[in-house]
Amino acid sequence: MSRPKKTLLKRIRFWLLCCFSALVGAGVAGIVLFSFLPVPFSAVMAERQLSAWFSGNFSYAAHSDWVKRDAIADWMPLAVIASEDQKFPTHWGFDVQAIQSVLDKDDGRMRGASTITQQTAKNLFLWDGRSWIRKGIEAGLTLGIETVWTKRRILTVYLNIAEFGHGIFGVEEASQRFFHKPASRLTMSEAALLAAVLPNPIRFRADAPSGYVRQRQQWILRQMRQLGGEGFIQKHKL
């Protein structure tokens, strides 16, 4: 290999290392800062807003009203745990059984099996989409979040940045928009309805729920009761 090519490769490796170090540093700083500071916006919110602007939709506004965990009814964290991650209080960021189930199918496709912590890491720091590179970065961020944050903090951030509809982010914004009241006054049924749209908040609507969304809401309500209702949240100090 000629000397100019070797020099070029060294420069490329150097800049790739710099970029990687910068990403790691930003991730670590974000995890530490957001362990106690409110999150002003998430990567998903920024992506949605930029996408709207680039497509010429200047009326779109990604909006979220940050609230503390004490200002969210216990029904809401219970609903998302019941619907998405029932092992949340005890796992370390990953549901090993769910991951193994996906791997056992061995068809080369990437599926969900994401815990609430993984979804928080993805929504807060990463771009939308599916790739093994993004999954790897997500895994590192998940471990960092589980190490630094409490489970209660993870739920607080998740519920404040989750997407509930077109431009609607966070449980306070969703509660005000759909039920005309603060998140602290959400009922068990309302919390289950909000949790029911989370898998696809653009397709599923809390303000005009389809038959499927209503069925999912009823399933979530049954799961919430089986977990022990609000006592489950109090038991695990969530």
Measured over the CA atoms of residue 64, residue 65, residue 68 and residue 70, the dihedral's sign is negative
**Do 228 and 120 belong to one domain?**
yes
* CA atoms of 39 and 43, how far apart (whole Å): 11
User: Does the pLDDT of residue 220 top 80, yes or no?
Assistant: yes
Residue 124 pLDDT: 94
pTM: 0.87
* CA atoms of 34 and 31, how far apart (whole Å): 5
Region 27-41: mean pLDDT is 90
Q: Percent of the chain at pLDDT above 90?
A: 67
**Do 67 and 104 belong to one domain?**
yes
Under 8 Å between Cβ of 79 and 224: yes
**Do 6 and 99 belong to one domain?**
no
- SS3 at position 204: coil
Residue 64 pLDDT: 87
Domain at 153, CATH number: 1.10.3810.10
Query: What strand order describes the sheet that includes 168-169?
Result: 63-64, 168-169, 163-165
* CA atoms of 137 and 139, how far apart (whole Å): 5
**Do 55 and 9 belong to one domain?**
no
Reported as a pLDDT band with limits 50, 70 and 90, residue 109 is very low
* CA atoms of 206 and 225, how far apart (whole Å): 21
**Do 169 and 212 belong to one domain?**
yes
* CA atoms of 124 and 127, how far apart (whole Å): 9
What is the number of domains present in the chain? 2
**Do 54 and 23 belong to one domain?**
no
Domain interval for residue 178:
41-235
**Do 3 and 72 belong to one domain?**
no
Under 8 Å between Cβ of 141 and 125: yes
pLDDT digits (tens, 9 = 90+) for 163-188: 999 999 999 999 999 999 999 999 99
